[in-house]
Amino acid sequence: MAVMLAVLVVSSQLSGRDHRASSRAESPRTEVDRPTAPQTRAASPSATPSATPSAQPSTQPSTRPTARPTRKPRATLRPGPALLAPGAQGDAVRDLQHRLVQVAWLTGPVTGTYADGTARAVSGFQAKRGFPVTGEVDRRTLRRLHEMTVTPTEDQKHNRVPGLDARCRTGRVLCVDKTTRTLRWMVDGEVRMTLDARFGGPSTPTREGTFQVRSKSRDHVSSLYDTSMPFAMFFSGGQAVHYSPDFAARGYAGASHGCVNIRDHAGISWLYDQVRVGDRVVVHRS
């Protein structure tokens, strides 16, 4: 009897377990969303400034303007009394002009007369150095010019070329030097202009010696070669000093048929108006 009761109890327990298992299989439990635990975040900077100053220096640039030292205005330079001015003449002007030639503010010959060209050169020299621009030479301008140049020789102040052919030192002369390949326009020993020159080749050499300008022809055309010879100044037969477009284009790669070629159009144009029939022409080698 006791055995039968034990069997019934075990059977009842097993039946109850099967019922619960079946119930779980047929009606799965719906998982309820649970609130997620808040994640730990890095502490954000407080919007309220701390009452205690930070020990670390601020890396943010200051918005307050930095005070700048006040600059003192530069004193305005005033021109001094004029030592040389337009209209002056003499040796002091020659010295001034050659010094301006040395610093490339003046071109052309030294004349000894303080004219417009000299005044413009002085003004340019003054402006370059921040001096008051007057075109007149005061002590400040002259002192700076002397610091930048050397004292010119008497030959330089009078446009004389050392070692120049003696025949070129007097009167009005077209002095043609085959060695230096130049033509110098000389008046009483002073060089008024220097131009590059080209001469005849081996078969048609330019004759050497002392000649005179026999005739002039501004728009000459060669009857022998049918070529243009502007500003021609004839001195020996068909040989002349004249402008050559070929010399201007090819330089010394070519040669003339015996004439003295000049390639500076503006220069020969000016020279043509200076030279007179009867002026001497000296062709030599230095």
Distances (CA, A) of 64 to 59, 60, 61, 68, 113: 14, 12, 9, 12, 63
- Quick check: is 242 catalytic? yes
Q: Please give the Cα distance from 43 to 234 (Å, whole number).
A: 105
Pick the catalytic residue from 175, 220, 242, 284: 242
- Quick check: is 158 catalytic? no
Q: Please give the Cα distance from 49 to 174 (Å, whole number).
A: 95
242 neighbors 233 (Cβ within 8 angstroms): yes
Pick the catalytic residue from 98, 168, 220, 259: 259
- Select from 250, 261, 241 the least CA-distant residue to 198: 261
- What are 246's two structure tokens? 């070929």
Q: Hey, is 177 helix, strand or coil?
A: strand
Point out the residues that are catalytic: 242, 259
